[in-house]
Structure formats: C-alpha cells, structure tokens
Chains A and B, each alone.
Chain A
Amino acid sequence: MALYQKFLDSIKGIKSSLSKDPTTMDNVSGALAAEFLIFVSLILAALFLRHVSVIASVVVVILAAVLFFTNMPLASKIKSEQSDSLEKMTFYVMVTLGILIAVIYWGLKYV
C-alpha cells in the first residue's frame, strides 16, 4: 500500500511540475507514458549489464529500482535537464567527453 501511495503521489508530482498551463489529458498522458518509458527502459538497460557482469547487473538493477522509486517523478526532472539551456547542454557534453576519455583510456589498460 505504501508503494501504491508513493506512485499516486508521484503522479500528482508530475502534474504539478509539468507546467503552469492548464493540465490537459494530453500532457498528463504524455508525462505518464514518459515516466513509464524511462522507468522500464532504464531497468532493462541495467539488466543488459548481465552480459558484462551478472553481479554488477543485479546490484545496478536493485540500486536503480530504489533510486527511481525514491526520486519519482523522473520524467519532469529529465525534462528540466534537457532544456535548450546552453549551460546544461555544455555541462552534459563535457561530462560525457570526460567519462569517455577516462573510461576508454584507463579502462583499456586493464583489459
């Protein structure tokens, strides 16, 4: 029941955080679809890690599930992070570049 309540609260959260415009069936249904898509897809992506390491996959799936449930609604947070703000876009570009260089350069030393 606590889980159900948590889910209901998250839907209310989506509704309030989407925009100040009048809430319509369209934008609520869109946000809900996005929420489910993000949740299910990222859990599936975590499951994909089983091809690299089964233990890592189990740990990541559990961690991801806990993290997602405690941080719902995800869709509106992801939407706010993917705005057209140059600062945010540059930030993610630099983070990706840093991760790629670090993981590929140092990671391949241990292969």
Chain B
Amino acid sequence: MNYLIPLMVVVPILAALIVNIFGGKDKTVKAISLVVAIAIPLIAILAAVGVQYFGGHDPTLIASSLPSNLVGALAASYNTGIVYVFENIERIFIFLMGIVAFLAVLTYFAEKKEVSGPYLYLIFMGIASVTALMLSNDIFNMYVFFEITALTQVGIIVASSTEDNYEIAMKYMILGAIGGPMLLLGVGFILGTIGSVNINDIIYALSNNFVNPYSPGLVIGFALILFGWLYSAGLPPFHTIKSAVYSKARPNGSAILQGFSVLCMLAFGIAMYKIFAYIPYFNTAIIGFAILAMVLSIAMSAMEVDFRRMIAFLAVGELGFIALGFGIGTQYSIAAALFQAANEIVITALLFIGFGTVYYLTKTSDTRKLGGLIAADSTMAIMVLLGGFALAGVPPFNGFQSKLMLVQAALDAGYTELAVLAIIVSVVIFFTFVKAFHTVYLQPKPKELKFAHEKIPKATVFSVAVLLIICLVLGIFPNIVTDIFIPFAGGLI
C-alpha cells in the first residue's frame, strides 16, 4: 500500500484549510503555501505506481471471503469502495500541475503584498480536486471532485477582484447548473444499468456481455456524459464562457484555471474512451467538437483586442487539438493528445503569467491602449515571444513536437483533411500571437499610457523562465514523456 497516493489529495486539502484559518497573517500563510506548493509536485515524483483501495475494500481480499454461491457472479468482481489508480501518466500531469501551481502562487506573492487566505484556499482546494479527479477510477467520485473544481473556479474568479468578475462567475455557475447535473444524470444512468460506477467494473460488465452495450440507459448515459465532458473541458458550446472565465481571473489564477480544465478534460476523456469507445461514430463526434473548438476559438482570438481574452481563446482552441488526438483514435494520436495536454498546461501558464506582467505594469489589457512595452522589460518580452512560438508549434519547443505528432497521426490514419486543418489553425495561432506581441511590445508607446508599477517582480520573471525551460526541455527531449504516453495510449485502445 502506498500512502503517498492519497496524500496527493490530502495535503492540498489540509493546506487549503490551514491557510484559510491563518488568513491575515501574511508571513505564516506565505510560508505554508510555498512549502505545500513545493510538496505537491514532490509527492507526485516520489510516490510509487500503485492502486489505493479506500476503506480496506481490496477486491481480492473480499473475493476470498465470499459465500460459494456468489463466486463467479458479476457482483463478486465489483469494487465496493473508492479506488485511486496512480500510474506514470498521472505522475506527469499531477507533477506539471503542481509546478504550475507553485509558480502561480509564487507570482501571486510577488505581485500582491497582502495575500488573501480565501484565494489560496480556493487554489489548494482546486488542486486537491483535480488531483483526485485524475486518480479516481470511479465516475461518481470523479463527478464529485469535478463539481468541487468548478466551484473553486468560480471562487477564484470572484476572489480575483477584476472588472466584471462577479458577472462572469455567475454566468459560469448558471451554465454549470445545466452541465453538472447532466453529467450526474449520465453517471446515474450508468449506475442504473450496470450497478457500479467503478470504471473497471463497467468495462468488465460490458466486455463479458453482462449488459447490452446498446441498452437505452447506457446510450443516454453516454450522451449525457459526453455533454458533461464538453462542459468540464470548455469545448463548444462552453468555449465562450470558459474563455471569459480565464480572462476574468488574475493572470496567476488563469494559469491555474486552464490547468484545471486540461486535467478535467483528460480525466473524463480517458474514462469515456475506456467505457464508450465501442459506440459507432464515437470518434467522429469527438472530432466534430474538436474542429469546432479549434476553429471558433482561434477565429475569435484573431479578432480579439483584449490580450487576456485573446490568450483565453487560444487556450480553449488548444483544447481542440487535444480532443482531435482523442478523436482520431489511434495509439499515436492519443499519445499526441496526451503530449499536447502536458504542453498546454505549461505553455498557457507561461503566456498567462508572462502576458499578465503587461496587466501588472499598466492595469490595462486593451491592446489598442498599449505599446512599447519591450522597453519596460526586454527579457520578459523575449520569453513571452518564445512562449508564443511554443504555443504555435515552432521548433524547437514542445508545442512543435506534439503538433507534429498530431499531424503525423492524422496522416497515418488517413485523415489528410484533419492534418491540413491542424496546420492551418497553427498558422493562425502564430499570426494572432505575433500580432498581439507586435501591438503590445513593439509598436510606439501611446502618450497616454500610464504605468501602475515600474518593474516586474523577480519571482514572476523566474516563474516564466522555469516554464520556458520546461517547454524547451520537452521540445528537445520529447521522449521523457512520450515513452510513457505511447504505451498508455496502446493500452487504452
């Protein structure tokens, strides 16, 4: 038994409670937050791969004590408690999320003198929730932790004290009142049909013909869970509200929020793939939503004049690439999707924090009012530019490797049009980013532009530099993660 697995969830929950209690005592809160923020990725690295059965519900132990008339029955094979599964893929994503959270918290402390206990509570609670979501092998448990994540997302926006943040938080909650219950209803249909919410049990029941895979309950369950997945990930029709959510949080908060979305998308995407991949046109449906996400979000970002909203739309558009990999449905494409997801967590965090420095300096995100900021800090400007290159898929960064994998996978699978589409969208991402970069950093500084701060904090520069180094390392040595993703994807299909 590996107690570090549940600790990945327990530690951030405890931290959330403690920082909230100590709210107001800045030094204590900062110290606790930094220690915990370092501990989260460390635990992910140190924990051994394994399975955690909560409440001592190890199915092999239970099976040995069953009455003889139950041996071999469907119910005898079911998991009776919550199960966490920790493999190397979970290790990578929890580690990356932990790193992003640490750097975001560090940036927050550097940019704000008086720290907010509730804001940090929400960040740590959100991290605990998405970690549990990644670890859980139980779709009801996943739903519960997803709802907690959604609530912490709303809380982070509300605690961000930006313009119109309350309005967007309220809208997200209202739309969540449609998406969340539909997801729960889907889980309910699965439970009603199969009698278990454990993913392994569902697969076992389906593959051994204990239930009709096309029974109405399962089919409706799939439709509702697919809808819930769109909501959790921020794919169309939820892409508009998701981008608004990102743009209304503090830049360090946005960096964390987009990581939450990627992990929610992955957790539910993998679960759906394990359970429902047998359904005809499953892949076509995923590809349809992937195309819509890419085209609508990137088109919107190209027309955007608010750079925070522009990055938010770019982040949602990048989710489309992940979905595209899942939709193509080959081992290589799913590995590419996972790689793209890992990259997006890092690159988008870099851009939110990096471009966030513009907001920190000027208190505006309207590109029409900005200009000449390369003079303020040329190092940061160059790092942001390189981050944009990584996003667009320019070598030698990680975005190039994952997008190249995706295009190759599409061509190998015979989906030439999808490969062309992915390249066109990447070109427009590059154009959009360069346009924004030119406007903010290179065009002459407007006379009326006033600075709220003179210098970017060193901690922020450090955070962006660390994220850029990760982008570069994953771009030059992609096999660090692809050696784990490719076998995992092979097991999934």
Interface status of A8 (Cβ within 8 A of chain B): no
B431 with A41: CB separation less than 8 A = no
| Chain A 54-111 interface residues, beta-carbon cutoff 8 Å to B | 75, 78-79, 82-84, 86, 89-90, 92-97, 100-101, 104-105, 107-108, 111
List 19 A-B pairs, Cβ < 8 Å: A26-B435, A27-B305, A30-B303, A33-B431, A34-B299, A34-B303, A34-B428, A41-B295, A41-B425, A42-B295, A44-B424, A52-B284, A78-B300, A93-B238, A94-B178, A104-B285, A105-B216, A107-B281, A111-B214
Complex CA–CA separation, A45 to B175 (angstroms): 28
Contacts of B295 in A (CB 8 A): 37-38, 41-42, 45
Tell me the B residues contacting A by CB distance below 8 Å.
168, 171, 174-175, 178-179, 182, 214, 216, 219-220, 222-224, 226-227, 230, 236-241, 244, 279-281, 284-285, 287-288, 291, 294-296, 298-300, 302-305, 367-368, 414-415, 417-418, 420-421, 424-425, 428, 431-432, 435, 439
Q: Measured between C-beta atoms, what is the minimum distance from A30 to chain B in Å?
A: 5
Q: Which of A18, A29, A95, A100 contacts B435 (CB 8 A)?
A: A29
B216 with A47: CB separation less than 8 A = no
Contacts of A101 in B (CB 8 A): 220, 223-224
Q: Which of A29, A45, A92, A100 contacts B291 (CB 8 A)?
A: A45
Contacts of B281 in A (CB 8 A): 52, 107
A86-B435 contact, Cβ under 8 Å, with A75-B299, A93-B238: no
Known A26-B368, A41-B425, A82-B300; 7 more pairs at CB < 8 Å: A27-B303, A37-B295, A37-B425, A48-B287, A78-B300, A83-B240, A89-B171
Instruction: Name the prevailing secondary structure of the A interface residues.
Output: helix
B178 with A93: CB separation less than 8 A = yes
Contacts of A86 in B (CB 8 A): 171, 174
A84-B240 contact, Cβ under 8 Å, with A44-B417, A111-B280: yes
Instruction: Name the prevailing secondary structure of the B interface residues.
Output: helix
Complex CA–CA separation, A42 to B299 (angstroms): 12
A48 with B174: CB separation less than 8 A = no
Contacts of A96 in B (CB 8 A): 227, 230, 236-237
- Max count, chain B CB within 10 A of own CB: residue among A42, A51, A105: A51
B171 with A37: CB separation less than 8 A = no
Contacts of B305 in A (CB 8 A): 26-27
Complex CA–CA separation, A40 to B219 (angstroms): 34
A37 with B302: CB separation less than 8 A = yes
A89-B237 contact, Cβ under 8 Å, with A29-B435, A48-B287, A96-B227: yes
B179 with A37: CB separation less than 8 A = no
A104 with B428: CB separation less than 8 A = no
Complex CA–CA separation, A48 to B287 (angstroms): 10
B240 with A37: CB separation less than 8 A = no
A92-B237 contact, Cβ under 8 Å, with A84-B171, A104-B222: yes
Complex CA–CA separation, A108 to B182 (angstroms): 20
Q: Measured between C-beta atoms, what is the minimum distance from B18 to chain A in Å?
A: 36
> Which partner residue on chain B sits nearest A97 by CB separation?
B227
Contacts of B223 in A (CB 8 A): 100-101, 104-105
> Which partner residue on chain B sits nearest A49 by CB separation?
B284
Q: Measured between C-beta atoms, what is the minimum distance from B67 to chain A in Å?
A: 38
Complex CA–CA separation, A93 to B303 (angstroms): 23
Contacts of A108 in B (CB 8 A): 214, 219, 279-280
Interface status of A24 (Cβ within 8 A of chain B): yes
- Max count, chain B CB within 10 A of own CB: residue among A24, A38, A104: A104
- Max count, chain B CB within 10 A of own CB: residue among A42, A90, A97: A97
B302 with A89: CB separation less than 8 A = no
Complex CA–CA separation, A29 to B214 (angstroms): 49
Q: Measured between C-beta atoms, what is the minimum distance from B164 to chain A in Å?
A: 8
Q: Measured between C-beta atoms, what is the minimum distance from A109 to chain B in Å?
A: 8
Complex CA–CA separation, A95 to B230 (angstroms): 13
Q: Which of A41, A92, A107 contacts B424 (CB 8 A)?
A: A41
Contacts of A40 in B (CB 8 A): 424
A18 with B220: CB separation less than 8 A = no
Contacts of A26 in B (CB 8 A): 305, 367-368, 435, 439
Q: Measured between C-beta atoms, what is the minimum distance from B432 to chain A in Å?
A: 7
Contacts of A82 in B (CB 8 A): 239-240, 296, 300
A93 with B237: CB separation less than 8 A = yes
B168 with A84: CB separation less than 8 A = yes
Complex CA–CA separation, A96 to B236 (angstroms): 9
Contacts of A107 in B (CB 8 A): 281
Contacts of A31 in B (CB 8 A): 302-303
> Which partner residue on chain A sits nearest B170 by CB separation?
A86
A100 with B303: CB separation less than 8 A = no
